Structure 1
Amino acid sequence: MSENHSNPFENSELTTILVVSNMAKSKAFYVDVLGADIFREYGGDSLVLKFLGDWILLVTPGGPTADKPNTHFVSPINRDSVSHSFTIRVQDCNKSYEILKGRGAEFITPPVVNGAETRCFFRDPDGHLFEISEYRAT
């Protein structure tokens, strides 16, 4: 295989970085409400989580660095304007909704049925959007 066709991501994993305004609130949400596992904390402003087989890195706001000049990390400014969201496919949307609601997740609406799919949305403390979705094959 030529150099241009080799896999640049061999043996790699994807991490999603979320900028949060309050690390303590976010840590409580991701660990206590969602059930994420803490992999590592460092500097009081970064938290690495393992969640559903993926990595989430929570960081506090920060400015440019040598490797990313002119780039600012900011938490969501408007909770109703979304540029990124997570979808979690679940077996039973209503059951997952009740469990997460009982743990303190604040949902936008209860589960809504749309054909073969039932879904609903909630946010983390900074407004990052999560969807739980159940699909029933017809």
Structure 2
Amino acid sequence: MTDPEHPFPGPEVAVTQILVVTDLARSRAWWVEVLGASLYREYGGTSAVLRFAGTWLLLVTGGDPTPDKPGVALAAPGEPDRVSHAMTLKVPDCRAAYETLRDRGAEFLAPPYDWGAEVRAFTRDPDGHLVEISESVG
């Protein structure tokens, strides 16, 4: 139920994806040089804010709990074959995006796979965060 006096989310709300990384420079380079994100700003060598596909992406190095998140430590993925978060990029042509990204250095798990209504392929950033490129067909 929406409260007209206190709408949420309102037009001023923006979504930021946070990815915990082990090497900020390496991850920033991958997201900028391979996927085409643009650097907005960096903070103290521990975080970088990127603009990517109409949204914000925050790369942060791991860290211990803080007063605003007691008991919660940030850590990069430990097992690349066990995924709890993935990012999907909807593209008009999966095979063309695959070739472009591969030429820029992305390593894919497999070539684009045609599921009939969708063609998709998966790559990982340097810390193992799963990124899917997906094309809706027909």
Return the TM-score normalized by structure 1: 0.94
The amino acid across from 1:98 in the alignment is: E
Does structure 1 residue 9 correspond to structure 2 residue 9?
yes
Alignment of 1:51-70 (within 5 A): 51-70=52-71
Describe the SS at the equivalent of 1:134.
strand
Structure 1 CA distance for aligned equivalents of residues 27 and 4 of structure 2 = 41
Aligned partners of 2:125 and 2:3: how far apart in 1?
Answer: 42
Aligned to 2:35: 34
What amino acid is the match of 2:69?
K
**5+ unaligned residues in a row in structure 1: which ranges?**
none
Q: Secondary structure at the match of 2:75?
A: coil
Distance 2:107 2:5 in 1: 45
Aligned counterparts, 1:1-138, within 5 A: 6-10=6-10, 11-137=12-138
Q: Deviations over 1:76-117 (max 9, x none)?
A: 000001000011111111110000000000100000001121
The amino acid that maps onto 2:45 is G
SS, match of residue 106 in structure 1: coil
Q: Deviations over 1:11-34 (max 9, x none)?
A: 110101100001111011000000
Separation of aligned partners in 1, 2:4 and 2:100:
48
Distance in 1 (alpha carbons) for counterparts of 2:32 and 2:14: 21
* 5+ long unaligned stretches in structure 2: none
RMSD over aligned CA atoms reads 1.7
**Percent of residue pairs bearing the same amino acid type:** 51
Matched position secondary structure for 2:102? helix
Amino acid at match of 2:61: T
Deviation at 1:3, TM superposition (A): 5.5
Detail structure 1 runs of 4+ shifted over 6 Å in the superposition.
Answer: none
